[in-house]
Amino acid sequence: MSRADLLYRETCARILREGVWDTDQSVRPRWADGSPAHTVKCFGVVNRYDLQEEFPLMTLRRTYWRSCVEELLWIWQKKSNNVRDLGSHIWDSWADESGSIGKAYGYQLGIKYRFPEGEFDQVDRVLYDLKHNPASRRILTSLYNFADLHEMALYPCAYSMTFHVSGNRLNAILNQRSQDMLTANNWNVVQYAVLVHMLAQVSGLVAGELVHVIADCHIYDRHIPLVEQMLELEPYPAPEFRLDPAVTDFYAFTPDSVQVENYRYHPFSARIPVAI
């Protein structure tokens, strides 16, 4: 049985049982019809995924894992902030006429900074440190650049990764300030699990633990019946994950480098409205 499903069920059940509604407050997100998108939320959720044990793809509904990988490579490899470089349309609602989402995500990872060994962007610095200073406690990235927030269409949600090598295992903490449980929880978990596998492989390590720390973990009001239906389902076993072992350069990965086998999931016919 997929552990990712169990963690998902526990997190949603906790929000529905103990969560606090923001209905009495004025909130930023809107539904397509203009009405406020309220949530019920819990603070400070921590979910741990052992990537040696299983690939954390949920089975309670289908996660479009290939789109997750495409978005991951758009941010971490292409370092793009333009939706025209992304295969899917998930970011279109936040893009301007030129396709830009502003100085967010990929744009931040592409900025170069000075280090004793020369100039690196955040991704190249992580790759350098994993190879040359794996014992370092300073291997992290952050997209939360206050100087540029006013030029971002949406402030980064999954905003920081902290990497940690113990033995030959690469562990990571994903820090997320805000999480829409139905639309993107498993989406975010899957893409950062793939990132840990990719970085481990090109650094001569194996993927260890992914610790997902979520500050505001919420379910939107219009998602509640859909989540309740999912909580009734029995999870299937987790699928198998395979990353093309021939790839040794992070920039050589493509969506085709990732294979998922025996992915069984429950049908989910409803369209998920996304709060803008």
Ligand X SMILES: O=c1ccn([C@H]2C[C@H](O)[C@@H](COP(=O)(O)O)O2)c(=O)[nH]1
Ligand Y SMILES: Nc1nc(=O)c2c([nH]1)NC[C@@H]1CN(c3ccc(C(=O)N[C@@H](CCC(=O)O)C(=O)O)cc3)CN21
Distance (Å, rounded) from C-alpha 189 to C-alpha 211? 9
Residues 162-221 that bind ligand Y (CB under 6 A): 180, 183-184, 187
| SS3 letters across 75-106 | HHCCCCCEHHHCCCCCCHHHCCCCCECECCCH
Residue 179 annotated as binding?
yes
Minimum distance between the CB of residue 74 and ligand Y, rounded to whole angstroms? 12
- Considering only residues 4, 15, 127, 184, which one is a binding residue for ligand X as defined by CB under 6 A? 184
Binding to ligand Y in span 28-87, by CB under 6 A? 29, 64, 67
Per CB under 6 A, does 29 bind ligand X? yes
158 assigned to a ligand binding site: no
CB of 234 to ligand Y, least distance (A): 20
Q: Is 218 annotated as a binding residue?
A: yes
Is residue 157 part of the annotated active site? The answer reads yes
Please report, for residues 102, 205, 220, the alpha-carbon distance to residue 276 in angstroms, rounded to integers and kept in the order given: 16, 39, 12
Is there binding between residue 69 and ligand X (CB under 6 A)? Answer: no
How many chain residues bind ligand X (CB under 6 A)?
11
Residue 52 assigned ligand-binding role: no
Which amino acid would we find at residue 203? S
Catalytic residue among 12, 42, 68, 157: 157
Residue among 94 and 144 whose Cβ is closer to ligand Y:
94
- Give the one entry of ligand X, ligand Y, none that residue 43 binds, where binding means its C-beta sits below a cut-off of 5 to 8 angstroms depending on kind: none
Q: Does 83 bind ligand X (CB under 6 A)?
A: no
Nearer to ligand X, 154 or 226 (CB): 154
**Smallest distance from ligand X to CB 172, Å:** 16
- Closest among 12, 40, 36 to 26, alpha carbons compared: 36
Choose the binding region for ligand X from 44-52, 85-93, 162-170, 172-180 (rule: CB under 6 A): 172-180
* 28 known member of a binding site: no
Q: Does 154 bind ligand Y (CB under 6 A)?
A: yes
Residues in contact with ligand Y by CB under 6 A are 29, 64, 67, 88, 90-91, 94, 154, 180, 183-184, 187, 272, 274-275
Residues in contact with ligand X by CB under 6 A are 28-29, 154-155, 157-158, 178-180, 184, 188
Which residues are known to be catalytic? 157
> Annotated binding residues for dUMP, as ranges?
137-138, 177-180, 188, 218-220
> Annotated binding residues, as ranges?
137-138, 177-180, 188, 218-220, 275
